[in-house]
Amino acid sequence: MGKWKAVNEVVFPLFWFSSIAFHQELSLPGQVAFHPFFLNFQSPGFFAFYTSKQILPNPFDFIYIMFAKFAAVFVTALAATGAWSSPIAARDTSDDLVARTSHSFNNWRGISSLNNFDNFYGVDNFDNFAAFKQVIVQEQQVVVCHTQQIEIIQQRLVILQEMAKRIITEQICEVETQTIVFQQFHASLGHFSGDLRRNSGHQVGYDSNIVSHFGNIIGSDGSISNNDFGFSGKDVGSSTIIPSGSNWNDSTSRSSVDAAFSAASDASSSD
């Protein structure tokens, strides 16, 4: 009985096993008998074809050799196209899980200051985008924009910025709640960027009823008021005013506004 020996090894990735073709050297000179694939679990993640350079007189031996070589070429093509991989990755369902997860912050981690947090915008409407409804009331009140010096605009916006900081730090003591409330504020305001670029599906304007409470934020003594104004976040957009007079042009403004957004984003990310 001859001994087993493997010759001309060609290794390819495939699942979790190795497939090896062996030949047996017989006592008769010049004769090699090939045996089809023998499974070998010693090399997880690979399989191997073994062929012989020796030309054999037996026609069946030649068939075995040609089959092994053809299979090697075929598997090489599959490996190159990514049809087989090692190991096979399971389908990533993380996005599906996120999509099915409900995000509620009512009493999140037992923090009492987050009680009724979801009542303002609603569950799964963290930044008031998913359920935002806009009602235009421009026909009752026409407002025309008037250009001011850029420094004047920046001054007023930074006042609102610092006022937001004051409200969060003076009226919220838990740092976790401060973080969540600010992220909600930042994300909700951030959607206005899409309005300005005309890709959100919303008109560019503001809610006049909400804005009317601005003067009531600060009390007569300079402190931040703590009375309930009687509205919720779900009311935002129900009395929208759209100021007229902008230079928006349907033919050219979309590309120019996108260029302005890109330039501003580059400047922000480089700071």
Other beta carbons within 10 Å of 226: 7
Confidence band, pLDDT 50/70/90 cuts, at residue 133 = confident
Q: Which residue has the higher pLDDT, 127 or 182?
A: 182
Q: Please tell me the pTM assigned to this model.
A: 0.60
Q: Which pLDDT score is estimated for 17?
A: 36
Other beta carbons within 10 Å of 173: 9
Q: Which residue has the higher pLDDT, 103 or 261?
A: 261
Residue-wise pLDDT tens digits, 155-178: 999 999 999 999 999 999 999 999
Q: Which pLDDT score is estimated for 231?
A: 95
DSSP category for residue 3: P
Residue-wise pLDDT tens digits, 58-114: 555 555 555 555 555 554 554 454 444 444 444 444 333 334 456 888 888 989 999
Residue-wise pLDDT tens digits, 41-62: 444 444 444 444 444 455 555 5
Which candidate, 91, 84, 124, places its Cα nearest to that of 105?
124
Report the amino acid identity of residue 247: N
Calpha distance 102→14 (Å, rounded): 40
pLDDT above 80 for 183:
yes
Question: Cis link prior to 87 (omega < 30° from 0)?
Answer: yes
Among 121-135, 148-162, 200-214, 228-242, whose mean pLDDT is lowest?
121-135
Q: Which pLDDT score is estimated for 268?
A: 92
